[in-house]
Every structure is written in structure tokens, then in C-alpha cells.
Structure 1
């Protein structure tokens, strides 16, 4: 298909929309590309017709897991040992986030299918096109801000919105009926917590979406290691026997292993040559259990006292 040659547009993300007349593309004026399009190498706005790469899906999975993990944390935090409703709340949070993810995919282009079309992420600046509006004469700014990483940036906001709506529709009814072990003032604290962390997650995606895209595998690895060590220390787990005393501890341990494996898979981008690294997942927990008795604060203090 022939293209009428024109002067290239200024800036990284300004492009020309095209009109096809008699098999020839006639580019228009330089400006912002419509939603669902980004510029090609010739500064022509082209529709996003590709599919997300495996790394893109892993990133979306990470952003989808964040609300669920926070839901589970605050449900467990505020349920305490008195309430037997924590399990039902955990399941409800899982259902909320799962349904929100499915609905988000269904309403995304192409609508009605559990798939999305997207543009390829080429560099970090693709996430922050608003910072690259050119000023050819240093006076007039040409505004070319658009979603160059369509739809990886906005789809997260849509997902969070559905999560919030489903939570407000389902969770209060469930908590009111089954959270009998909690006082009236404590029943809805996990919901109140969500009303705080959803705006925080939204702001995090708005400001740091591009940084999270490149850093999330390492964030998962570090947080899974730190939180596992903190949990095992707070629960006074020092031996394998301590783990087997309560099923909850094993569930927490396996959950951290899943997160750790997710981080390794994300770093390797599902490269099958790197999958043997998954054998290292239990390593940090085993190292902690084997060395915990040597780092017991009371033992260190007593040995220091005996040394003097």
C-alpha cells in the first residue's frame, strides 16, 4: 500500500493518522494518536494488533495479585484468633478478584473474549508519554500524550475499579452474617483497609507503572524473602516440627514459595533453560530453619554473658 511522504513529526510519540484513498495512505497532521494506536518508525499511527508477550501477562498477573494479597493480609490481621470467618472472607476475596479479572478481559478489546490486543513495550519512556510532548519553537507545546503501551497501563485501573465494586457488593453482606466472633467495630475493618489501599495502588500504577513493569520480578523475590523471615520469626518457628504444629504455618510457607517461584519465572520470562532454578525456591526457608537456633537472641545474650 502506497504512503504519501511527508515531513516527520517532532517528538517521540507524535504521529499522523492516515486516511486511505484509492489504496494510498494519506497522512494527516501531526498530533496525538487515537486510543489503541501508537506510532511506527515512520511516525504513522498504527493500530495495536499484537498480543501481550509472556512477560506482559506476568506483569498483569502481578498487578492482579496485589489487591488479593492485601485483602488476605488485612482479613487475617483483623480476624484474630477468635473468628472462624477468616476462611470464608479469604475465599470471597479470591472470588472478587478472579471475577474482576475475567470481566476486565471481557470488556477489553476485543470485547467478549478472554484475550486482549496490545502494543509492544519498547522502552521505559513508553509508559510516560506525557513527559515527551515536544516544543519545536520552545513556546508552543504539541500535546501527543497517549497510551503507547496500550492497554497495559489503563487495564490495571479498570481491574481495580471492578475489584472495588465487587468488594462493596459482596463482602459487607458476608461479613455481617458470618463474622460473629468479632465485635461490631472490628467486623468491617478489613473492608475499611481496602478503601485505603485501593487508592494507594491506583496512585502507584499511575506514577510508577513503568518502573513496576521492569522491576516487579525482583520486588516479588525480595518481599517474599523478607515477609517469610518476618512471619517465621514472629511465629517463633525454629524447627521443622514448629511448622507442622499448625496447618496455617504450612499454608503461609507454601504461599511464599508460590510467590518466590512466580518471581523466578518472571525473571526468566518462562525460558525453559532457567526453570531448574525453581529447585531453589525452598532454599531460603530451609536456610532459616537450619540457622534459626544459632541466631536466637536469648542464646546470644547468654553466651555473651558467659564469655564475660
Structure 2
């Protein structure tokens, strides 16, 4: 690689000149092209710079959201296939939590700086940072300069690494657990939650590969909408219409508190807690949808509506 003039600007939005050597206090730059992994080009000087910043709170919340997706799906399918009489569901839930937690810790420890539970990153500046492959320049409209790189290092690839560790740990731990404790299930039903994971992990991987940048900006609103929908569906399916119905089973309270935590997570992600005195009071809205449902459920009961229609005739 030849040294070039640092003043000559590179084509394209993400092409940059890597530092290939030092001559005393003078930096010697290479040809314009793709920056090495862990670096991104400075939009002003077009020089590749090392990613040395710490992720913002919003970045951590995004990574937390991507980490929660497989865990929530694990819990859903475990509950779906375990059946009401199975006593193995709780142990499978705990195992799934252990798998995802261990995968997250291993992923962080293997990321730069290796051996620490924090990461070095490049800040996300715009949506195009997630899709650098779409911005390879063609100065002469014939030849393309390939400058595809991870401009949001490591927010894009760290999710794939995490999913890989989740899958490996699941395949190592879950079959042994199910074989020992899932005696109440039929032989064909024992491993259905694992089979489901073998389907949703590739789907999550494709979603991250194609829509990672869109998810980065939209995930707080996705959390709020899905938490509201799933809470309403659960309370309707469980025929919960009063506060007393919530207290009948501990499982209902656990589900309710889980939804409240996810709802609070979404509110924090939207507000980013830039100003505590303004944003923290928003958490008081978390029980709002539940209270609204309980107060209005009796007016939307289908049997009550049909009864009133019959009395009207």
C-alpha cells in the first residue's frame, strides 16, 4: 500500500485513508478505501479513526432490547409447549434465562477491550451508518470503490455473536435438562421449545442483518406497542376483569409485573432520561393501560353487550 497525500479527499461517504505508518510525528496514510474493523472514517478529514468511545445509554438500551428478544421468545414457546400440568416449565424458564445471561456476558468479555464488561464503539451519527454497503462510490460510473464497513462498530456484529452463543449454550444445556425433568410431557412434545428456537434464531438474524438500523431508531416504540397488545391479549384470554382476578394466581401478577417492566423500558428508551426531573415522572404512566383495561372491561364484556341488546328488544 502506497503512501498518499493526506489532503486529497476520498470519494464516497465512508471511504477513508488508513494510517499505515508513523514517520516521527507525521502520519503516513494509505490509499482511499475501506477502513479496518474497529475504525470508521472521519466525515471531515476522511481519515480512518479508531473507535474508542463508550456507548451512550440509548446504545445500551438497544443492545438490551436485542438481547431480550430471544429470551422472551424462549419463555413464550416454553410456556406454549409445556402445558398447564407440566412442572418442568419453571426450570426451563430459569435455564433459558441462564443461557441468555451467560451468552451476553461472554459476548461482552470477548469484545474490545477483551476481558472487560464494557465495549469501545463508534457513535451512530445517521441511519446510513448501518447500511454502508449502499454507499460505495463509483467516480467514473464504471468501477466501484468498495468501502463497506461497520461504521457503528460493534453494535451491528455484536448482536450476531450474542445470538450464536445463545444457540450454542441452548444446544448444550437444554436437551440435558429436558431429558431429566420433562417427564410429564410426551416424547414428541419435550423438545418442541428447542425446535422453535431453531426457527426463530435464523429469523432474528435476518431481521438484524436487514433491519438493524431501522430497529435502532424504532425499538422504543415497538416495545410500547407490543407490550400494550400482549398485555391486553393476555388479560382478555385469562378473563381478567377486576383487581381481584389479578390476585387469584401468582402467575398473573408475575406476567403483569413483567409487562410493566418492559413498558418502563420503552418509556426510558424514548425519553433517554436526558433530564431526570422531566423524564422520571413519565414512569408513573406505566400502570395506566392496566388500570384503563380493568376500569373499562365490564363495559366491553360480550355477554353483557348481548344481554343489553336482548333487553332492548
TM-score band, normalised by shorter chain: over 0.9
Q: Does 1:128 align with 2:122?
A: no
Aligned to 1:148: 151
- CA distance in structure 2 between the aligned counterparts of 1:145 and 1:5, rounded to whole angstroms: 21
Check if 1:242 corresponds to 2:245. yes
- Please state how far the C-alpha of 1:298 moved relative to its aligned partner: 1.5
In structure 1, which of residues 243, 266, 279 is the aligned counterpart of residue 284 of structure 2? 279
Tell me by how many angstroms 1:150 deviates.
0.1
Contact (CA 8 Å) 1:4, 1:24: kept in 2 or not? no
The 5 Å alignment of 1:55-94 reads 55-94=58-97
Unmatched segments (≥5 aa) in structure 2: none
Alignment of 1:244-259 (within 5 A): 244-259=247-262
- Determine if contact 1:238/1:289 at 8 Å carries over to the other structure: yes
- Count, aligned residues: 306
> What are the residue-to-residue correspondences of 1:38-57 with 2, within 5 Å?
38-40=40-42, 41-57=44-60
Where do 5+ consecutive residues of structure 1 fail to align? none
For residues 132-164 of structure 1, the C-alpha deviation after alignment (integer angstroms, 9 at most, x for no partner) is 000111110100000000000000000000000
Q: SS of the residue aligned with 1:15?
A: coil
Once the two structures are superposed, residues 286-306 of structure 1 have per-residue CA deviations (whole angstroms, 9 ceiling, x without a partner) of 110010000001111221222
1:4, 1:25 within 8 Å by CA — same for their partners in 2? no
Match of residue 190, structure 1, among 190, 193, 210: 193
Distance 2:100 2:6 in 1: 49
Which residue, 289, 292, 296 being the options, matches 2:297? 292
The yes-or-no answer on 1:11 pairing with 2:12 is yes
Q: Which residue pairs with 1:231 in the alignment?
A: 234
CA distance in 1 between counterparts of 2:31 and 2:196 reads 48
TM-score by length of 1: 0.98
Could you tell me how far apart the structure 2 residues matched to 1:106 and 1:209 are?
22
| Alignment-derived partner of residue 310 in structure 2 | 305
State the Cα RMSD in Å.
1.0
Divergent runs of 4+, >3 A: none
Can you list the C-alpha shifts for 1:61-94, whole angstroms capped at 9, x where unaligned? Answer: 0000000000000000001112001000000000
Correspondence 1:37 to 2:39: yes
Equivalent residue number for residue 268 of structure 2 = 265
Q: CA deviation at 1:4?
A: 5.2
State the SS of the aligned residue for 2:17.
strand
